[in-house]
Amino acid sequence: MQEQQVIVYTQPGCGPCAAEKEFLAKHGIDFEERDIRENPEYVRELLELGAQATPTTLVGETVVMGFDRAKLSELLDL
């Protein structure tokens, strides 16, 4: 049962971003996608999280940099 909000910072042409979105969808995880190319505010948010690349995922208050399948599975009880 998913209780934590999941936000994924992505950008077009990002292979790991596409793989992570597919992974989350396959496991029935609802997430908000924030495309850093569409909104400069998302770039600022990404930098404030200490990240400089996509995908960067916020699971509740935990930041996951890159598509870290094991970490996401742990955080989301998959």
Residue 58 forms part of a structural domain:
yes
Residue 69 has pLDDT above 90, yes or no: yes
Q: Tell me if 30 is assigned to some domain.
A: yes
Q: Is residue 10 part of a domain?
A: yes
Is residue 1 domain-resident?
Answer: no
Report cis status (omega within 30 of 0) of the bond before 55.
yes
Return the CATH number at 55. 3.40.30.10
- Residue 58 domain boundaries: 6-75
Q: How many domains does the chain have?
A: 1
Residue 68 is assigned to a structural domain of this protein = yes
Residue 59: pLDDT band (50, 70, 90) is very high
Q: 7-57: per-residue pLDDT in tens? A: 999 999 999 999 999 999 999 999 999 999 999 999 999 999 999 999 999
- List, in order, residues 6 or more apart from 55 with CB less than 8 Å away: 8, 9, 10, 14, 16, 17, 20, 66, 67
In the block, which residue shows the tokens 């496991």?
27
